[in-house]
A = this chain, B = another copy of it.
Amino acid sequence: MNAISDEIKADYNFISDSLVDIYDQIMRIEESEIKKSRFKDITAKELHLVHTIGLHDRKTTSEVARILRLSKGTLTANLNNLERKGYISRLTNQQDRRIINLALTDKGRLLYRAHYAFHRKLVEQCLKGFNGSDIKKMKQALVNVEDFIGEVSAK
C-alpha cells in the first residue's frame, strides 16, 4: 500500500464510521424536536409512518405494510394508535369494500409538513456552500448506494 492509497483508506473509514452514528442521532433529534412542538404524543416510529402515508397518499394498508416491511398485524396496531391520536384516517374503498385507503387528517398533514421542513433544513445545512456540480455528485452517491442495495438484495 502506498501513501495515497492509505489516505483514501482513512477517508473511507472516516466516512463509514461517521455514517453509523449520524442516523441514530438524526432519529433521536427528530423525535425530540417533534416533542418540543404541539405534536408531543408522537414517537419516531409514528413519525416515520405519518411520513410514509403523507408521501404515498391513499395507498392501501397492505401496500403501506409492504413499503415499510411491517406485517399487516403490526401496521393495524400502529394505525389504531395514529387514528386514535387523530393523525390519520381510514377510508373504506367504495369500489372494493375490503380495501382501506390511508390518508392523513389535517393534523397529520401539519405534522407531515413540519417533519418534511426539518428534513429539508438538514439537507440544506449538509450541502451548505456546495455548487451545482457538487450537488450532482451527492445525488450520484445516493444513486450508487441504492444500486448497491439493489444488487445485494437481488443476490
Q: Which residues of A contact B (CB under 8 A)?
A: 8, 11-20, 22-26, 28-29, 33, 51, 55, 68-69, 116, 119-130, 132, 134-135, 137-142, 144-149, 152-153
Contact = CB atoms under 8 A, between A and B. Distances in A.
A20 B137 contact: no
A137 B132 CA distance: 13
A142 B11 contact: no
Contacts of A11: 135, 139
Copy number in this complex? 2
Contact of A29 (B18, B28, B139, B153): B153
A1 to B, nearest CB: 15
Contact of A120 (B12, B55, B145): B12
Contacts of A119: 16, 19-20
A141 B138 contact: yes
A120 B23 contact: no
A15 to B, nearest CB: 5
Contact of A15 (B51, B128, B142, B144): B142
B127 A17 contact: no
Given A13-B120, A120-B13, A144-B128, A135 B18 contact: no
B16 A139 contact: no
Given A8-B132, A25-B149, A138-B138, 4 more contacts: A15-B135, A16-B123, A19-B119, A23-B23
